[in-house]
Amino acid sequence: MEFGYVFRRLLSAVPTVLLVTFMVFIAIHIVPGDVVDIMLGTQNYLTESQIEELYSEYGLDKPLIVQYGIWVKNLFTFNLGTSLRTGRPVTELIRERFPITLELAILSLSFALLFGIPMGIVSATKRNGFLDNFVRVIGLIGLSSPSFWVGAILIVLFSGAFQDFNLFGYVRPGVDLLSNLQVMFLPSLTMGLMVAAQILRITRTSMLDVLNQDYVRTAKAKGVSTRNVILKHSLRNALIPVVTLSGIQLGYLLGGTIVIENMFALPGMGRLLLQVVNERDYPVVQGIVLFIGILIVLLNIVVDIIYTLIDPRVELR
């Protein structure tokens, strides 16, 4: 592996990460009122000097740029502040909830690849036929449908057809794997179908490009069976952009689970985010949004690196 490229890629992400932290920091300070105002609310029984002490404790009496510097310094020690409502460290809250969101994202991506890739291959190999048109329509419907609507349809179908199916009530995999998978099945299927539509499209386009290449034409002329043309000669090259898209989708799934987590009452990061938004618990809102932003920047770097590993035609710069 070109470690120089990896290092340069990580270095190029530093300005983006810094900008992300700055955006999140400044956004909170644009809002009228501050952390102390929220804490005190309308029940203000404190004296002026006590309020000043509070401001000093939270560093709000310092210039904005100094506050930003202190905040970034704290980030290096994984200190994202504390919840206004519970007093618990934000990092602890994220550590509790993130594994559930991660599990949902990974399972959703697995479903997406399971459905999307075969459908994309079928669509490309039967181009302009009935199957191709049918699959493309399904893909277009999938791209157009809101996830909460698809989730609602699946809940109605499954509750009717499978009465004993456990739809709600999250259980950690370490406690009871079977119950965990039962509860995660519908939410991950819902999200998976949404992403499958995109995977389908990119697989189809990529497969069509590869099938038009000279080396595939040569393989067919040599009498290689259609099955081997697809599986041995075309698939690996066609899947390169799919791998890239999957990596990018994983990042967005991690942030995009908020709707599904709330629909299926999963105690993940998305559900926590909505809860703290409604409670105006800004340190937690700030912490989660920042965490997601930095995670996606890092994930995109990983995707870039994987791409250079699997596609030998890509020049490392």
Binding track, positions 201-240, relative to other proteins; x by CB under 8 A: ----------------------------------------
Put residue 224 in one of left, alpha, beta given phi > 0 → left and psi -120 to 50 → alpha.
Answer: beta
Out of 5, 25, 252, 307, the residue judged to bind other proteins by CB under 8 A: 252
Out of 125, 292, 304, 308, the residue judged to bind other proteins by CB under 8 A: 292
Out of 4, 278, 313, 317, the residue judged to bind other proteins by CB under 8 A: 278
138 binding other proteins? (CB under 8 A): no
The window from 59-67, 179-187, 221-229, 284-292 that contacts other proteins (CB under 8 A) reads 284-292
The minimum distance between CB 200 and other proteins, in angstroms, equals 14
Residue whose entry in the numeric block shows the structure tokens 């900008």: 19
Out of 131, 216, 219, 294, the residue judged to bind other proteins by CB under 8 A: 294
31 binding other proteins? (CB under 8 A): yes
Nearest alpha carbon to residue 148 among 65, 259, 314, 37: 259
Nearer to other proteins, 66 or 156 (CB): 156
The window from 36-44, 90-98, 107-115, 153-161 that contacts other proteins (CB under 8 A) reads 153-161
268 binding other proteins? (CB under 8 A): no
Binding track, positions 159-198, relative to other proteins; x by CB under 8 A: x---------------------------------------
The minimum distance between CB 30 and other proteins, in angstroms, equals 7
Out of 59, 69, 146, 169, the residue judged to bind other proteins by CB under 8 A: 146
**Tokens linked to 237:** 């090259």
296 binding other proteins? (CB under 8 A): yes
The minimum distance between CB 199 and other proteins, in angstroms, equals 17
3-state per-residue secondary structure call for 95-146: HHHHHHHHHHHHHHHHHHHHHHHHHHHHHHHCCCCHHHHHHHHHHHHHHHCC
The minimum distance between CB 116 and other proteins, in angstroms, equals 17
**Binding footprint of other proteins on the chain (CB under 8 A):** 15-16, 19-20, 23-24, 27-28, 30-31, 140-141, 143-149, 152-153, 155-156, 159, 251-252, 255-256, 258-259, 262-263, 273-274, 277-278, 280, 285, 289, 292-294, 296-297
